[in-house]
Each structure stands twice: as structure tokens, then as C-alpha cells.
């Protein structure tokens, strides 16, 4: 380890690793600090991602792909099932994130980044008002380490940004509070992602069953913190399992939070940038944050590396606009669509499912399904149109 | 009986550490940055907590409870 680094990245999830890798590519010194003893574990994720989301960053590898996805299946509250087949370019994967995250970290190390695990960051160092390093605990010892730039990739908790004066806490109504089990002997199609909707199933959120090969599946849900006032995610999960898979063998149970909102107002400040869940870069409609977090982090890493190379640390502040142009603006529209869908009654979900099922399977393109859904909710039309125009 | 003291009153929020999954959901919603979460250790920073209960509503597995009598200091 060095006495001082150009860049310190807090957190070694997908966003942290990509920030470290893209910064290292610029030839600056980078250290990642991760509080857990393993990179990539525990896994708090449904592990679904689009092919494009993976390919932008790493060559697909069967060692961390558990299922190849070609279909989506939506199950309405009255159990009407609507299945959609994807075009090849929209295909996706269910990952083994335990290995995937590890491989991502390796790509950062290959570019020259270093990693220290069991390093819990608990404060920042400042030089006047500029962030100038971190305080951290390692093996029971409190330490300090200077850096020209700190990149906060500390996930849903997002505390590092707060210490720099940014507002990062999320409204509890926008937090999708999740719990998931990974279970064996779940006999579902191994090429299909299943989504369940409805007030009794996952109000203000959705329930998922994602296959992982060999009839193993990630089964979980997220509900808004607003719902959590009355019933918690775990109570919905228990009901679902009782109804659909009583007695299933559970291999893992996890809890987790998905910040399903638009990106924070500010994701950079002098000497610091926020990436991934910490910046609230999750797609608020799907709750998917692996790909979008990696995209945000690659932008921040590149800009941070350039800022140091040019010896112009203010350059870091261009990150906000760069992110907004790439995905931030789009997420604002997704968020409005999400809010529209949250207000759907069970009856509306049922009606939409019935209308879509009237379209012959082979003609059920995403565009056509959208149009059918919109006939049931015209006010969403403008927002959806923007998704395609913007 | 000695009670733990929150920002403006007795502390009424209690995290049951033995049941916690250390997922960070409660930390993300806490407006006061009043929850400390290490690899497998969680606690409330008493003097910051306002007893607002947002952490309780967002815990997916019901690990945080409201104790209106106040949390007793150990
Ligand atoms: C139940 C659930 C299901 C999901 N399903 C999907 C899905 O199917 N597809 C999808 O794309 N996304 C999904 N997501 C979202 C996805 O998991 C996240 O968006 C993604 O992991 C974010 O990556 P990240 O690198 O920003 O944060 P993380 O992966 O959370 O990494 C943050 C890292 O920072 C470390 N850290 C935190 N604080 C500190 C500190 N103070 N010091 C040092 N280290 C610290 C943490 O230990 C962690 O390793 C799901 C999330 C949940 C909870
Ligand atoms: S009650 Fe409110 S202030 Fe206290 S820990 Fe929970 S969310 Fe934070
Ligand atoms: S939300 Fe619940 S399970 Fe998650 S860290 Fe907080 S108390 Fe623990």
C-alpha cells in the first residue's frame, strides 16, 4: 500500500470496480476499500441484467451466467399470464453475482487498481472544503489515508456522500424494501423472467421469480417503505411461498433496499463523486442497478482520472452533466412511469393483461404491448413517448 | 432505570441485532445519518436519532421495533 493515492474508491460492488478500472486506465493510482471480507458477497440481488448491460463492460462468460433469458412473463392479479419473446438484442442473463462482482474487481486490478477488504470507511478528510481522503477502520485499528479524489460507491447506504455535505438519504416512499430467497426445485421455464403484480402480492412494487438453471430460482419482492408502514416485505414473501411453493428448500435468504428514485440532485462536489446506488443511479422503473451503476461509475472514473492527469480537479464537477446526458434524464421519465404504474388498480392490471393476450404471441412486440397498455392508461402516453424520443 | 437518550427525548427505536441481515435499507432512508452499519454490526447513534420511525417502515424483515417506554441503557 502507498502512503497516499490519487483516487480512493469506497465500496467494491459493480460500480466501485468500474470506477476504479476506468480511473486506473488513465494511469493514476487507485485504491478500493471494501468493508466486507469478500468482494461480491453477500449477494443482495435478483441478478437479472440485459446482454447489452454486460457486454459494454465485460465479455460474457458461462462461469457467471446461470440462465439465458429470452422471455418475460407478467402475471396479473387474477393470474392471467402474459408472455413476451425478446428480439435477440434484448436478451438477458441471470448472473451468479458472487463470481461476476469478483471478475469485475479483477478487471480493475488488471488496470493497476489495488483492493483492501475489511476496511470500513467511517469518515472523510478535508483540505479546506475539499474532500482530501478517508478515515477507515481496518483490523480494529483506526487509520487515515489521503487522496486527491474520493469516489463513493458505498451502495444503498450512501453515507460517504453525506459526510461531504451532499443530501443522499432517500425518501422512505422511494425505497423498494426487498427480501429474496434462493430456492431449489422451483419448476419454472429456465429462459423466462417472471413478474407478478397486485395489491396482495407486492403493492407499489413487484414480485419476481428469476431462474438460475437446474430449477434453482431467485424469488423475491420489493415494496415501497410506505407499504412497510403496515406490512413488511417478508410477510408478502411468506404469503407467496405458502401459496405457490409450500415446503420449498431455501438455500439463501437476504434482505436489501433498492433506491427507486431519480438520481440525486448533486453527485459530485470538490474532491468527491458518487456512483451506482450511492448516487441513486438505479433504473427506477425496473429497479435494475447493476448496468446503470456501472455506466455511471465508468463516466465518473474516466472524468476523475482525467482530472488528475490534467491537474485540474474542478473537472470532476462535469460528471453531473455527463451522467444526466447519458442516463439521468431518462431515469426521470422512467420514474414518472413508475409512479403511474404504482397507482394502477388490480382491475387495471387485469384488463391490460387480457388486452395484450388478444395479440397473437408472435406479434407481441414490446412496442405493441406498450401501446395496448397505454390504451388503458392514456396519461402515461406522453411519458412513454419521451422515453423513445429523448 | 436509565434510558438511552435520543436527539430530543428518550430513544424509542430498537434494532434487534441478532435478527439483522445488515442490508443497509434502514441506513439509506435515515434522514439523520443515525445508523452505523459495519460488516456484521449495527447500532443507532443515539444523539442523532429523532425517533422518526422511517427505518422501522423500511426494514424488509421487521428487525427494528418501536419501544414507546424508551430503550433501556445497558
Ligand atoms: C433484492 C434486490 C434485488 C435486486 N435485483 C436486481 C436485478 O435483478 N438486476 C439489477 O440490475 N439490479 C438489481 N438490484 C440492484 C443492484 O443489486 C444494485 O443496484 C447494485 O448492486 C448496485 O451496485 P453498487 O456497486 O452501486 O452497490 P453495491 O453492489 O451495493 O456495493 C456497495 C459496496 O460498498 C460497500 N460499502 C458500503 N459502505 C461502506 C463503507 N463505509 N466502507 C467500505 N465499504 C463500504 C458494501 O459492502 C458493498 O460491497 C437488486 C437489489 C436488491 C436489494
Ligand atoms: S428513527 Fe429516524 S432518525 Fe432514528 S434511526 Fe430511524 S430513521 Fe434514523
Ligand atoms: S433494514 Fe433491517 S435488516 Fe436491513 S440493516 Fe436495517 S435493521 Fe438490518
pLDDT digits (tens, 9 = 90+) for A121-156: 999 999 999 999 999 999 999 999 999 999 999 999
| DSSP code string of B45-62 | -GGG-----HHHHH-TT-
Q: Are residues A270 and A139 in the same domain?
A: yes
Domain CATH for A188: 3.30.9.10
Strand-strand pairing, A141-152 and A272-274: parallel
> Which is the closest atom of ligand 2 to the Cα of B48?
3
Counted domains in chain B = 1
CB A147 within 8 A of CB A156: no
**CATH assignment at residue B33:** 3.30.70.20
Q: Is residue A291 part of a domain?
A: yes
Q: Of A207, A226, A259, at which residue does a domain stop?
A: A259
Residues A204 and A314 in one domain: no
Nearest atom in ligand 2 to the alpha carbon of residue B53 is 1
Same domain for A51 and A130? yes
The span from the CA of A237 to the CA of A325, in Å, is 38
- Does residue A205 sit in the same domain as residue A287? no
Which pLDDT tens digit goes with each residue over B13-59?
Answer: 999 989 999 999 999 999 999 999 999 999 999 999 999 999 999 99
> Would you say residue A9 lies in a domain?
yes
- What is the distance between the alpha carbons of residues A147 and A265, in angstroms, rounded to a whole number? 24
Helix (H), strand (E) at residue A186: none
**Class of residue A55 by CB neighbours under 10 A (exposed 0-12, middle 13-18, buried 19+):** exposed
**How far, in Å, is the centroid of ligand 1 from the Cα of A365?**
32
Distance from C-alpha of B58 to C-alpha of A385, rounded to nearest angstrom = 33
**Full domain range(s) for residue A314:** 4-59+96-171+262-330
Regarding whether A130 and A14 lie in a shared domain, the answer is yes
Among the bound ligands, name the one nearest to the CA of residue A156. 1
Q: Are residues A299 and A184 in the same domain?
A: no
Is the CB of A255 less than 8 angstroms away from the CB of B21? yes
Q: Please tell me the distance from the alpha carbon of residue A115 to that of residue A121, in angstroms, as a whole number.
A: 13
The closest residue, in CA terms, to atom 52 on ligand 1 is A45
Q: Is the peptide bond before A42 cis (omega within 30 degrees of 0)?
A: yes
What pLDDT tens digit does each residue of chain A (390 aa) get?
999 999 999 999 999 999 999 999 999 999 999 999 999 999 999 999 999 999 999 999 999 999 999 998 999 999 999 988 877 767 899 999 999 999 999 999 999 999 999 999 999 999 999 999 999 999 999 999 999 999 999 999 999 999 999 999 999 999 999 999 999 999 999 999 999 999 999 999 999 999 999 999 999 999 999 999 999 999 999 999 999 999 999 999 999 999 999 999 999 999 999 999 999 999 998 899 999 999 999 999 999 999 999 999 999 999 999 999 999 999 998 898 888 888 888 998 898 888 888 888 888 776 677 667 766 665 565 555 555 443
- Domain of B56 in residue numbering reads as 3-72
| Total domains in the fold of chain A | 3
B45 alpha carbon – ligand 3 mean position (Å): 15
B64 CB under 6 A from ligand 3? yes
Q: Is residue A64 part of a domain?
A: no
Judgement on whether residues A131 and A268 belong to the same structural domain of the protein: yes
Domain boundary pick from A289, A304, A330:
A330
Residue A376 domain-assigned?
yes
Q: In this structure, which residue's CA is closest to atom 4 in ligand 3?
A: B23
Amino acid at each position: 500500500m502507498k502512503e497516499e493515492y490519487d483516487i480512493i474508491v469506497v465500496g467494491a460492488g459493480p460500480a466501485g470496480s468500474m470506477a476504479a478500472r476506468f480511473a486506473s486506465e488513465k494511469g493514476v493510482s487507485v485504491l478500493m476499500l471494501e468493508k466486507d471480507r469478500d468482494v461480491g458477497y453477500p449477494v443482495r440481488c435478483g441478478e437479472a441484467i440485459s446482454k447489452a448491460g454486460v457486454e459494454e463492460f465485460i465479455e460474457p462468460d458461462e462461469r457467471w451466467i446461470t440462465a439465458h433469458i429470452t422471455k418475460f412473463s407478467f402475471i396479473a392479479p387474477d393470474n392471467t399470464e402474459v408472455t413476451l419473446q425478446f428480439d435477440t438484442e434484448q436478451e438477458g442473463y441471470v448472473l451468479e453475482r458472487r463470481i461476476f462482482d469478483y471478475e469485475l474487481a479483477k478487471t480493475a486490478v488488471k488496470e493497476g487498481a489495488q483492493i483492501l477488504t475489511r476496511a470500513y470507511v467511517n469518515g472523510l478528510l478535508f483540505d479546506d472544503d475539499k474532500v482530501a481522503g478517508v478515515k477507515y477502520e481496518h483490523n480494529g485499528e483506526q487509520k487515515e489515508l489521503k487522496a486527491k479524489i474520493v469516489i463513493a460507491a458505498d451502495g444503498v447506504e450512501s453515507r460517504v456522500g453525506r459526510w461531504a455535505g451532499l443530501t443522499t438519504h432517500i425518501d422512505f416512499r422511494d425505497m423498494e424494501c426487498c427480501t429474496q430467497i434462493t430456492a431449489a426445485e422451483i419448476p419454472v421455464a429456465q429462459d423466462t423472467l417472471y413478474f407478478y403484480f397486485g395489491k396482495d402480492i407486492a403493492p407499489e412494487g413487484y414480485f419476481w421469480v428469476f431462474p438460475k438453471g437446474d430449477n434453482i430460482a431467485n424469488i423475491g419482492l420489493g415494496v415501497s417503505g410506505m407499504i412497510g408502514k403496515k406490512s413488511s416485505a417478508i410477510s408478502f414473501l411468506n404469503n407467496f411461498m405458502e401459496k405457490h411453493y409450500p415446503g420449498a428448500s431455501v438455500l439463501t435468504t437476504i434482505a436489501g433496499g433498492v433506491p427507486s428514485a431519480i438520481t440525486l440532485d448533486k453527485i459530485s462536489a470538490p474532491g468527491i463523486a458518487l456512483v451506482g446506488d450511492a448516487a441513486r443511479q438505479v433504473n427506477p422503473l425496473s429497479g435494475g442497478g447493476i448496468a446503470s451503476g456501472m455506466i455511471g461509475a465508468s463516466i465518473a472514473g474516466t472524468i476523475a482520472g482525467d482530472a488528475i492527469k490534467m491537474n485540474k480537479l474542478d473537472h470532476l464537477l462535469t460528471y453531473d452533466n455527463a451522467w444526466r446526458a447519458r442516463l439521468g434524464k431518462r431515469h426521470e421519465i422512467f420514474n414518472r412511469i413508475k409512479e403511474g404504474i404504482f397507482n394502477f388498480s388490480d382491475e387495471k392490471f387485469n384488463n391490460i393483461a387480457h388486452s395484450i393476450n388478444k395479440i397473437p404471441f408472435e406479434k407481441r412486440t414490446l412496442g405493441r404491448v406498450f401501446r395496448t397498455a397505454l390504451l388503458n392508461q392514456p396519461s402515461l402516453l406522453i411519458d412513454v413517448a419521451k422515453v423513445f424520443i429523448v | 432505570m436509565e434510558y438511552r437518550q435520543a436527539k430530543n427525548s428518550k430513544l424509542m427505536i430498537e434494532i434487534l441485532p441478532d435478527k439483522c441481515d445488515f442490508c443497509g435499507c434502514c441506513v439509506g432512508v435515515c434522514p439523520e445519518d443515525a445508523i452505523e452499519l459495519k460488516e456484521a454490526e449495527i447500532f443507532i447513534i443515539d444523539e442523532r436519532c429523532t425517533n422518526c420511525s422511517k427505518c422501522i417502515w423500511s426494514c424488509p424483515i421487521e428487525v427494528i421495533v418501536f419501544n414507546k417506554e424508551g430503550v433501556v441503557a445497558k
